[in-house]
Amino acid sequence: MSRKPALVVEPLLRAEGLAKRFSLVHGLLGARGEVLPALRGVTFEIARGQTLGLVGESGSGKTTAGRIVARLVRPDSGRIFFDGTDWLALSGAVLRQRRREVQVVFQDPQNSLNPRMRAGDQIAEPLRVQRLARGRALGDRVRQLLADVGLGAETASRFPSDLSGGQRQRVAIARALATAPRLVVCDEPVSALDVSVGAQIVNLLLDLRERAGLSYLFISHDLAVVSRVADRIAVLYLGAIVEEGPAQAISSRPLHPYTFALVAAAAEPDPSAPRRGAVLLGELPSAVNPPAGCHFHPRCPIARPRCRQEAPALSEAAAGHRVSCFYPGEVG
C-alpha cells in the first residue's frame, strides 16, 4: 500500500539571511565613523499560532530583527516571506493594507503611547487609518478591545498619564490587536514593568494567543520570561544566531556556552533548587571590531585554540536543534 505524502505546512514567516549594518555618527557635525553590523545573516521561522523567542544581551541585534520583520527598518540583504508573500517587496497601497497583519508592542508604553491622546482614541486610530470601522461600530470595537485586555470601558476616556504602567501596556496591546493581526512583534514588552505586573502581561499575551490564534516574535534579554512564552527560542550573540531549537531543550539542555550562561543567570522560581554556576566571563565585545574566530571565545570557559582561529557554522546537533559551537554541550 502506497503511503500518502506528508503534508508540509509552510511557516507563517520565514526570514532568510537578514543582514543589517548601521553607520555610527560622531561629533557635533555628524561625521560618519565606524560601521556597526547589527545582524549577520540571520535565518529563522515562525510557525502559525506559535511563538519564536529571540533572546540575547543588549546589542545582540534582536530588536533590529524585530523592526525588520515589522517593516520599520530595511535590511541590507536577506529576504522575508510572510504567508508565502515576499514581505520586503511590498510597497505603496498593498503594503499599507498588509501592514494590519503584522503589528508591534514596544518596550515602554510611556513612550509608545501619545501622551496627548486619550486611550480610546489611540486604540481607534489604526481602525480609522485602515478603514475597518467607523461611527458606533468604532466605539463598540474599542470597548471590546479594552475588555479583551482586561480593562474597563471607562479607560477609553483616560490619558496615558492617568494609567499605571501595566494599564498602559494593556492599552498598547489593545492598539496592536485592533487590526486583527496574524503576527505580533513583542519587543521587550515586560522589561519596563515590575515582576508581578510583567507576569500578568505575559499571561495576557498567552491567553490572547490561544483565543485569537496569534503568532508572536517575542524579544527579550530574559531567558526565563522567553521560556514561559515561546515554543522555539533563537539565541543571538553579536548579530548572529548561536543556538536555536525547542524552548524546552534550550532552557533545560543548552548546548552553547553562551546559552548556558543565560540559563544560569535566569531567575530560579524555586529558592531551594540548586543554582547553576554563572559562566559568562568579561564584557560583550565591540560589534564594530568583533573577535576573530568564534566571536564568543574571549568569554567562553571551554575555548580552545581552534575557537580563536575558526568560526563555527550553525549546524544541527539534534532534531530541530541547531548550535554554532565546536564543543556543544561540554559546559553543562
pLDDT band at 283 (very low <50, low <70, confident <90, very high): confident
Q: Which helix (H) or strand (E) holds 58?
A: none
Which residues lie across from 246 on neighbouring strands?
Answer: 232
pLDDT band at 110 (very low <50, low <70, confident <90, very high): confident
- Which tens digit of pLDDT belongs to each residue from 295-318? 999 999 999 999 999 999 999 998
Q: Establish if 6 belongs to a structural domain.
A: no
Average pLDDT for 14-37:
80
First to last CA, the chain: 46
Q: Establish if 129 belongs to a structural domain.
A: yes
pLDDT at 271: 46
pLDDT at 326: 96
CA proximity to 15, closest of 96, 60, 73, 77: 77
Q: Establish if 134 belongs to a structural domain.
A: yes
Query: Residue 81: is its pLDDT beyond 80?
Result: yes
Q: Which helix (H) or strand (E) holds 235?
A: strand 232-237
pLDDT band at 225 (very low <50, low <70, confident <90, very high): very high
Query: Considering the chain, what percentage of its residues have pLDDT values greater than 70?
Result: 90
Average pLDDT for 114-129:
95
Indicate the SS3 state at residue 269.
coil
Query: Residue 286: is its pLDDT beyond 50?
Result: yes
Q: Establish if 330 belongs to a structural domain.
A: no
- Cell 564543543: give the residue: 327
CATH of the domain at 35: 3.40.50.300
Q: Which amino acid is at 160?
A: P
- Find out whether 200 and 166 touch, Cβ atoms under 8 Å: yes
pLDDT at 27: 55
Q: Which amino acid is at 128?
A: R
Q: Establish if 235 belongs to a structural domain.
A: yes
Predicted TM-score (pTM) of this structure? 0.90
Alpha helix stretches (DSSP H) within 178-252: 195-212, 223-229, 247-252
- Which tens digit of pLDDT belongs to each residue from 40-72? 999 999 999 999 999 999 889 999 999 999 999
Q: Which amino acid is at 187?
A: D
Query: Considering the chain, what percentage of its residues have pLDDT values greater than 90?
Result: 78
DSSP annotation of 18 reads E
- Which tens digit of pLDDT belongs to each residue from 179-223? 999 999 999 999 888 999 999 999 999 999 999 999 999 999 999
How many structural domains does the chain have?
Answer: 1
Q: Establish if 184 belongs to a structural domain.
A: yes
How far is it, in rounded angstroms, from Cα 195 to Cα 228? 14
Q: Rounded to whole angstroms, what are the CA distances from 331 to 192, 256, 257?
A: 32, 8, 6
How far is it, in rounded angstroms, from Cα 134 to Cα 137? 6
Average pLDDT for 268-276:
49
pLDDT band at 35 (very low <50, low <70, confident <90, very high): confident
Q: Which amino acid is at 313?
A: A
Residue-range definition of the domain harbouring residue 209: 13-323
**Burial label, 79 (beta-carbon count in 10 A; 0-12, 13-18, 19+):** middle
Q: Establish if 163 belongs to a structural domain.
A: yes
Q: Establish if 329 belongs to a structural domain.
A: no
Angle at CA 309, nearest 5°, toward 20 and 331? Answer: 90
pLDDT band at 5 (very low <50, low <70, confident <90, very high): low
pLDDT at 3: 59
